[in-house]
């Protein structure tokens, strides 16, 4: 398999969409599942949610925020070039319900990851409200695709340049309360997911959070993605990435995701030893 890049589109500053040839993943993925890529043979592995697929083009679509060494390498690739590795689909599909009022919440690049889940909720017969957040108007992504996928779309921007001024959870609290929604899905920065869980804890609704812990192998072997959910140890790559948001220990997740920050910042000095050809 070539992992050939078929198309590339800039969605917002530092946010790029890649369409990659991946016939076997295209046939098997479900909304909520993810892949792990290595842009080149010396790269670290990075997990990315599958955003869309095309049976006609035998391809899948991913959205990458270029914030670190590996993500910058990935978005530097052009159509006609190939990813070195592409593994998936990994993880469990998002939990679905039917005939309910559902709220789907996302912040930042999480909006891309929310799109297939929100679309699946609607296709399953739910009324779907999407609440999406961005730093400012020019950081909003996939607006047209979301409009086509959900019943109602509302945006919040930190600076108020489009839609509600504030964050997604503040917007949720401004328009909803106990009984408004029966079920929800949230994806984005950990503080946002934690705030969404706290805000809805007593609303009598289910809230599923798609978690983003550090991942290495994506197969449940390395322990890198360990999370605590309802005082039970889980591995996001095989048990998740989605869990009951009201049971997730978000403080522990924050601590574990910060554990490697110092090393990650030494991007010039760091040479990943995980790549198969450098072991």
Decide: is 215 part of the binding site for ligand FES (CB under 6 A).
Answer: yes
Decide: is 243 part of the binding site for ligand FES (CB under 6 A).
Answer: no
Which span (3-11, 109-117, 132-140, 213-221) binds ligand FES, by CB under 6 A?
213-221
What tokens were used for 107? 């912040």
What tokens were used for 138? 């020019």
What is the spatial distance between Cα 25 and Cα 223, in angstroms, rounded to a whole number?
Answer: 24
Cβ proximity to ligand FES: between 45 and 154 the closer is 45
Beta-carbon contacts of residue 130 (< 8 Å; ≥ 6 apart): 103, 104, 105, 106, 114, 118, 146, 149, 150, 152, 153, 154
Cβ proximity to ligand FES: between 1 and 233 the closer is 233
Please list, residue by residue across 237-254, b when 16 or more beta carbons sit within 10 angstroms of its beta carbon and e when fewer do. bebbbbbebbebebeebe
In the list 6, 182, 216, 247, the residue contacting ligand FES (rule: CB under 6 A) is: 216
In the list 20, 237, 248, 253, the residue contacting ligand FES (rule: CB under 6 A) is: 237
- Enclosing H/E stretch for 112: helix 110-123
| Other CB atoms within 10 Å distance of the CB of residue 113 | 26
Cβ proximity to ligand FES: between 182 and 222 the closer is 222
Decide: is 211 part of the binding site for ligand FES (CB under 6 A).
Answer: no
Which span (91-99, 138-146, 149-157, 215-223) binds ligand FES, by CB under 6 A?
215-223
Q: How far is the CB of 168 from ligand FES (least distance, A)?
A: 27
Residues that bind ligand FES (CB under 6 A): 215-218, 220-225, 235, 237
């Amino acid at each position: 398999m070539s992992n050939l890049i078929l198309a590339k589109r800039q969605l917002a500053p530092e946010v790029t969409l890649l369409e990659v040839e991946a016939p076997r993943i295209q046939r098997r993925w479900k909304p909520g599942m993810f892949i792990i890529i290595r842009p080149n043979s010396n790269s670290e592995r990075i997990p990315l949610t599958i955003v869309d697929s095309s049976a006609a083009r035998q391809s899948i679509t991913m959205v990458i925020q270029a914030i670190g060494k590996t993500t910058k390498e990935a978005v530097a690739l052009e159509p006609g070039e190939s990813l070195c590795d592409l593994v998936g689909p990994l993880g469990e599909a998002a939990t679905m319900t039917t005939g309910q009022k559902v709220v789907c919440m996302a912040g930042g690049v999480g909006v891309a990851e929310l799109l297939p889940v929100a679309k699946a909720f609607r296709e399953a017969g739910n009324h779907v409200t999407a609440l999406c957040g961005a730093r400012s108007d020019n950081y909003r992504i996939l607006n047209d695709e979301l409009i086509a996928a959900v019943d109602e779309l509302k945006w919040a921007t930190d600076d108020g340049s489009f839609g509600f001024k504030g964050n997604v959870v503040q917007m949720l609290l401004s328009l909803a309360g106990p009984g408004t929604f029966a079920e929800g899905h949230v994806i984005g920065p950990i503080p946002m997911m934690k705030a969404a869980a706290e805000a809805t804890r007593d609303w009598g609704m289910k809230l599923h959070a798609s978690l983003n812990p550090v991942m290495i192998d994506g197969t449940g072997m390395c322990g890198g993605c360990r999370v605590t959910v309802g005082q039970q140890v889980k591995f996001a790559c095989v048990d998740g990435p989605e869990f009951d948001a009201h049971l997730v220990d978000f403080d522990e997740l924050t601590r574990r995701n910060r554990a490697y920050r110092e090393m990650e910042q030494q991007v010039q000095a760091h040479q990943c030893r995980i790549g198969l050809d450098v072991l």
